Amino acid sequence: MQKALFDNGIVWNGDALAVLRELPGESVDAVVTDPPYSSGGLHVGARQIDPARKYQKTGTMKVYPAMLGDLKDQRSFIMWSSLWLSECWRVARPSAPVLVFSDWRQIPAMTDAIQAAGFVWRGIVVWHKPTARPMRGAFRRDAEFVICAAKAPAKAFTTRCLPGVFSFRVVPGDKVHLAGKPIDLLVELLAVTPEKGTVLDPFLGGGTTALACIKTGRRFVGVELSPEYYRVAGDRIRAAQGVGQTVQ
Ligand SMILES: C[S@@+](CC[C@H](N)C(=O)[O-])C[C@H]1O[C@@H](n2cnc3c(N)ncnc32)[C@H](O)[C@@H]1O
């Protein structure tokens, strides 16, 4: 498996579950991640539509590398999520916060999997997307969610009073990934993780979590299955912090 070492962290190109199984127990201070949602409909046929069609506005011209791992049906999604989250539980230090992105459809599945893995579910944060398209005859789907949990025992790593809703636009020009999240959103979310701690993101995509770690003085351990996104994440990290070294 390829990995790239940086001043502030490491990124693996491989399958999350396989890499997580190699990581030492109790070696990270937080898990912050945005897995494939395997969402988009009630039936397998609807889920298996290309994510570029499922998750992008009609008429959006930008073409991104394929997003992998988005085709699971509901039962396998819950089982698979329980597997990788259980590995995250093993790798996380006691009291580590866990933040997992989800859309509205997958909240029940993901909160089940998080608890099955051993974490304590603490709440949900809303990411409000002011530029989401209006929907005639329906409520606008202008939010995604971040499920907040922690490994026991409970401990707060900040004394700040934090909001429960964050409003950040997706800026098309800044986006390098079909499902890319705004860096400033991740910076805000990292407030609940230990200062100078190491943050694990097993689904790194274009590297947003790593960039937010660099911005806030934290370290990162990232995993990305797609060789294209592994390269994109590495390039962005290098641009943000200096030269990285690729190791076989
Ligand atoms: C929702 S995206 C993450 C986007 C990221 N938050 C960003 O802002 O760029 C999920 C990522 O997980 C990757 N992925 C899918 N299955 C994976 C697996 N089994 N192991 C590691 N990465 C995987 C996909 O290729 C995709 O880039």
135 alpha carbon – ligand 1 mean position (Å): 27
Percent of the chain with pLDDT over 90: 80
What pLDDT does residue 174 have? 83
List, in order of start, the domains of the chain with CATH numbers: 2-247 (3.40.50.150)
Average pLDDT, the chain: 91
Q: What are 130-158's pLDDT values in tens digits? A: 999 899 999 999 999 999 999 999 999 99
Q: 52-61: per-residue pLDDT in tens?
A: 655 655 555 5
Going by C-beta distance under 8 Å and a sequence separation of 6 or more, which residues neighbour residue 107?
124, 145, 147
Average pLDDT over residues 165-183: 92
pLDDT score for 54? 58
* DSSP label of 106: G
> For ligand 1, what atom is nearest to the CA of residue 233?
9
Is the preceding omega at residue 130 within 30 degrees of 0, hence cis?
A: no
| Structure confidence at residue 247 (pLDDT) | 47
pLDDT at res. 3: 98
Both tokens of 81, joined, read 């999520």
Averaged pLDDT, 192-219: 98
**Ligand 1 atom at minimum distance from 177 CA:** 9
Q: Is 206 in the pocket of ligand 1 (CB under 6 A)?
A: yes
Beta-sheet strands, E only, within the chain: 2-6, 9-13, 30-33, 97-102, 120-128, 143-150, 165-167, 198-201, 219-224, 245-247
C-beta of 181 in contact with ligand 1 (< 6 A): yes
Residue to substitute in 225, 231, 235, 237 for testing ligand 1 pocket (most ligand atoms within 8 angstroms of CB): 225
- By alpha-carbon position, which residue is closest to atom 13 of ligand 1? 203
Structure confidence at residue 63 as a pLDDT band (50, 70, 90): confident
The predicted model gives 179-206 an average pLDDT of 98
Residue nearest atom 19 of ligand 1, based on CA coordinates: 15
SS3 174: helix
pLDDT tens digits, one per residue of 92-106: 999 999 999 999 999
Please give the pLDDT value at position 239. 96
Candidate from 81-90, 104-113, 171-180 with smallest mean pLDDT:
171-180
If you measure from the C-alpha of residue 137 to the centroid of ligand 1, how many angstroms do you get, rounded to a whole number?
32
**pLDDT tens readout for residues 17-54:** 999 999 999 999 999 999 999 987 555 566 666 666 55
Distance 220 CA to ligand 1 centre (A): 15
- What is the separation of C-alpha 204 from the centre of its chain, rounded to a whole number of angstroms? 6
What is the average per-residue pLDDT within 163-179?
Answer: 92
Residue 85 has pLDDT above 90, yes or no: yes
For a mutational test of ligand 1's pocket, the pick from 203, 209, 228, i.e. the residue with the most ligand atoms closer than 8 A to its C-beta, is 203
Question: Could you tell me if the CB of 182 is within 6 A of ligand 1?
Answer: no
Nearest CA, atom 2, ligand 1: 205
